[in-house]
Amino acid sequence: MKINLEALLQQVDQRQVELIDLVERLIRFQTPAPPARNTEEAQQFVAAFLQDKGFVIDKWDVYPGDPNVVGVLKGSASDTYKSLIINGHMDVAEVSPDEAWETTPFTPIVRDGAIIGRGAADMKAGLAGALFATQLLHEAGIRLPGDLTFQSVIGEEIGEAGTLECCKRGYSADFAVVVDTSDLHIQGQGGVITGWITVKSKQTFHDATRRSMIHAGGKLFGASAIEKMVKLIQGLQDLERHWSVIKSYPDCPPGASTINPAVIEGGRHAAFIADECRLWITVHFYPNETHEQVAKEIEEHIRLVAAGDVWLRDNPPEFTWGGSSMIEDRGEIFPSLEVDPQHAAVRALIGAHERILNSQPIVDVSPTVTDGGWFGDAGIPAAIYGPGDLGNAHSVNEQVSIQQVVDFTKVMLQFIYEWGHTKK
């Protein structure tokens, strides 16, 4: 069987045109999110592809027009051999009408050793390479002893957590590889949570009463919610600086735990003192932290800031955390993911990378977030490993190196085979 595997690895080079065609085919499906609700045709293609390779298909709508697809290929000895999940998202970053693409974003171009098109780096090349690896195993008649599950999910770009829905549906394995953009690094990640801080007055005031609020002897106890929010923003900045001093994590740059005041909304119109102000924040935290933990730290600090202000003491801020969709409820959560370099699957992935590329892979922490955190949250050991770099993700004329896609496909082929033959 080892000789057959060597022959399959050679086929990745020999059939490179087919692999490129598969990447191009996926790019042609127009699946930007937002607006989302547009992955049905692409997901049906993946479902048919996997079904043709012997996978049992589970396809269900997470949202109308946005289904998840999970294919399960039962192993010949599932009880005694390790199982694997391969996971990737079908949605891609949004495209603005004024972006200066060389052609249309969903008309791929192959040139100068690269594939250009929206989603090339993030992350249809990863999906295509993993799909092609399963095709080669199927064509060779190789049946793994361990179970292989392939998840093509929706919503990653807008926090809709198709992967979380897979976990809720009961899909699990001994290890998961998220084939998202990592430049062939083996990565964990920090996490992200969004939140809304709301300051609201108990009553409204005409703008002509402002003098009575702010000048001596006015005797009107009131305030602008917008101006009071400024105090809370300053408090957030103080906490952010404090975190940068006391918190750290290996392979993360100093100060990677951040609190971004992303959007501010408030006031009615010019004839009112602003009676409400809402601040939308994005919080990045380290791989060894949880979103519940950082939300609690922020709430405790901001409540202390409010307690030091006479008006905020009487009109305390309110907090709303997370959400299931940046479209549906303007919020998201991406849990963090720690990678154990000594885990047997990570060692096997490192070994496959070393064998194919003749170099030791970098094991580090992604500066962004992926669906990988949902596996960690579910107690499933996981790592992020895929072609493409973040400099190209979401960019105009997004592209991915063909050689890197070929290398990735070989590594995944080697890893899937080896992990599927690893005894529990």
Which residues are identified as catalytic? Answer: 91, 156
Give exposure, 219-247, as e/b (b: 16+ Cβ within 10 Å).
eeebbbbbebbebbbebbeebbeebeeeb
What six digits make up the tokens of 167? 């976990």
Strands 148-153 and 399-401, sheet pairing: unpaired
What six digits make up the tokens of 108? 């791929």
* Beta-carbon contacts of residue 377 (< 8 Å; ≥ 6 apart): 164, 167, 335
* Beta-carbon contacts of residue 276 (< 8 Å; ≥ 6 apart): 198, 199, 200, 201, 225, 266, 267
* Beta-carbon contacts of residue 341 (< 8 Å; ≥ 6 apart): 347, 350, 363
| CA end-to-end span of the chain | 20
CA distance 266 to 293: 28
What six digits make up the tokens of 19? 């692999």
* Phi/psi of residue 404, nearest 5 degrees: -70, -35
